[in-house]
Chain A
Amino acid sequence: AQSVTQPDIHITVSEGASLELRCNYSYGATPYLFWYVQSPGQGLQLLLKYFSGDTLVQGIKGFEAEFKRSQSSFNLRKPSVHWSDAAEYFCAVGALTGGGNKLTFGTGTQLKVEL
């Protein structure tokens, strides 16, 4: 069974500082990996995704993530955080099967940005 661990429940960074959100996954084959962001009272918006190829993927809003198979990780990074990045971030792993792409989510990391 696939699983996702986001070890940091809350993270606080200063505006302009760099950010790294951790994500570790468990899956028996090559995973499909996603990062979503959720603002308060909103749905989930896709930041970026990885299926294959270049292990460093670029997403929207200046985010990037690196797939490291040896560490079963898919950490999200941003060089300089903006106050508007305050939100909850979810890592998810999926598998393309007969059931489409059922996603397993981590428990999320709440990001607070100090001005």
Chain B
Amino acid sequence: NAGVTQTPKFRILKIGQSMTLQCTQDMNHNYMYWYRQDPGMGLKLIYYSVGAGITDKGEVPNGYNVSRSTTEDFPLRLELAAPSQTSVYFCASSDPGQGDTEAFFGQGTRLTVV
């Protein structure tokens, strides 16, 4: 199993540009999450989803959007990139109902907005 796969691994955006960070998982997990990691700040939850078609805001949702059309995919959209969105983004999945109570993380996307 590949687990949680994120693309791209690195990206540089100009201010005002938009992009989509891709995330897919092959564990048939119902729950998926997007976190951002900033130095010295730990990880903060941006958005999460409890299943296809259902999403909700986390702690730091401003400037982001998500969708969940399938169980496998949970893309994160940045519409108007700002320097404050320079960060490392992690996608994760879990499914306590299947016994996977912990979150399984992707390798991350390092985004720089200039």
Contact B94–A105 (Cβ < 8 Å)? no
Residue pair A32, B101 in contact (C-beta under 8 Å) = yes
B58 within 8 Å of A (CB atoms): yes
- Contact mask B45-85 → A, CB, 8 Å, 1/0? 10010100000101000000000000000000000000000
- Which of A32, A34, A99 lies in contact with B56, CB distance below 8 A? A99
Question: For chain B, what secondary structure do more than half of its interface residues adopt (helix, strand, loop), or is it mixed?
Answer: strand
Partner of A90, one of B42, B96, B102: B42
Interface-located stretch among A14-22, A39-47, A66-74, A77-85: A39-47
Bound complex: CA A42 to CA B105 (Å): 10
Interface size, chain A (Cβ < 8 Å): 27
Total contacts A to B, CB within 8 angstroms?
Answer: 70
Q: How many of B's residues come within 8 Å of A, CB to CB?
A: 28
Q: Do B48 and A100 touch (CB < 8 A)?
A: yes
Contact between B43 and A90 (Cβ–Cβ < 8 Å)? yes
Which chain A residues lie closer than 8 Å to B2 at the CB level? none
In the complex the two chains form, what is the Cα distance from A101 to B108 in whole Å?
A: 19
Residues A96 and B106 in contact, CB atoms below 8 Å apart: no
Assess the A98–B50 pair: CB atoms within 8 A.
yes
